[in-house]
Structure 1
Amino acid sequence: MAEPFVINMFWDGVMDLIQFSDGDTSVRVSVLGRQGPGILPVHDLLDAEILVNSSFISGRLDICFHLSDLESWSTALDDLEIGRSVEWLDTGNGPVIRIQSADDDSDVPVFVVEDASGSGASAIIPIAVGGGWIERQREQLREVMRMWPSEVVKTSPGAYEWRS
């Protein structure tokens, strides 16, 4: 049985956007901060890292995503809540996180982290997430959005300005 989950959103200035764990195995996406604070248009890009840990493998992958990708993560959580499998960050040229919902073949969700365009590596990690895991992810998403609100608006192709 999975150990109780404790939200650990902050440490050393880092905030978790995604944190799935069963005590022994975990997949996290930790936001490190803005890529270029105060610089248009990169102000709304977030530097982050994907961390995978299990008794078999450990890995870390640097990523960067736009604050608008948080909306797609919110939509992914909606889909997960109704039992659909999801992909997040699949922009065609970077890492992808897939979550395959528990089904008849597996009683736990399976997390797939793939870096096809970079290292070519992928990891498939089943995690017994326990009850309430979707709401925990929603709370972490809300905290990240509070910490790093969108402050840039694209006014036309290649043109950006500060949100009023």
Structure 2
Amino acid sequence: MADFEPMDLVVLADDEGNSVRVHVFGREPSWPQGLAAEIVVETPFVTGRTHLILSGHKLRSWAESLDKLDAGEAAAWMKWDRGPSISIQLTGDRDCPEVVVDDESFSMVTVRVPVVLPDGWIEDHRARLRSLQSAIADF
């Protein structure tokens, strides 16, 4: 992983300035099997970030979440793991998808972000996941 280029695994963003991203930096120094990452929330109203460690299990769980979303179901990623979680509702209160970032274990803050997602966003995220998995294949 010496040549790992930091990347965004998740980019849920719209033209209104609302976004939730999961940025992956590379190997986690405190846990060699993990990836150092952060969840970044940016809106015209609130901006925040929280540290995250991604494991192989969490990456597989993200793939499962994408399958659920593709089938038209809501998905909760990392909901039962320690640390922050991301839930995606395909139809939120504002007639567009909502992304809920919950950092109950550390900051005890929950942020709900309405995001108008572009066509093809699920396939884009599958490609992002494949790219990350390819980059860490020798992990």
**Match of 2:118?**
130
Q: Distance in 1 between matches of 2:37 and 2:80?
A: 16
**Match of 1:94?**
83
> Mind listing any 5+ residue stretches in structure 1 that lack a counterpart?
1-12, 152-164
Shift of 1:97: 0.5
Which of 92, 100, 108 does residue 96 from structure 2 map onto?
A: 108
**Match of 1:18?**
10
Poorly superposed stretches of 4+, deviation over 3 Å: none
Q: Distance in 2 between matches of 1:108 and 1:91?
A: 25
> Mind listing any 5+ residue stretches in structure 2 that lack a counterpart?
none
Q: Distance in 1 between matches of 2:42 and 2:32?
A: 30
Task: Write the letter of the residue equivalent to 1:99.
Answer: I
Could you tell me the percent identity over the aligned residues? 36
Q: Distance in 2 between matches of 1:93 and 1:68?
A: 13
1:27 aligns with 2:20: yes
Residues matched between the structures, number: 135
Q: 1:92 to 1:75 in 2, by over 3 A?
A: closer
Q: Distance in 2 between matches of 1:107 and 1:72?
A: 26
Shift of 1:65: 1.9
TM-score by length of 2: 0.89
Bigger radius of gyration? 1
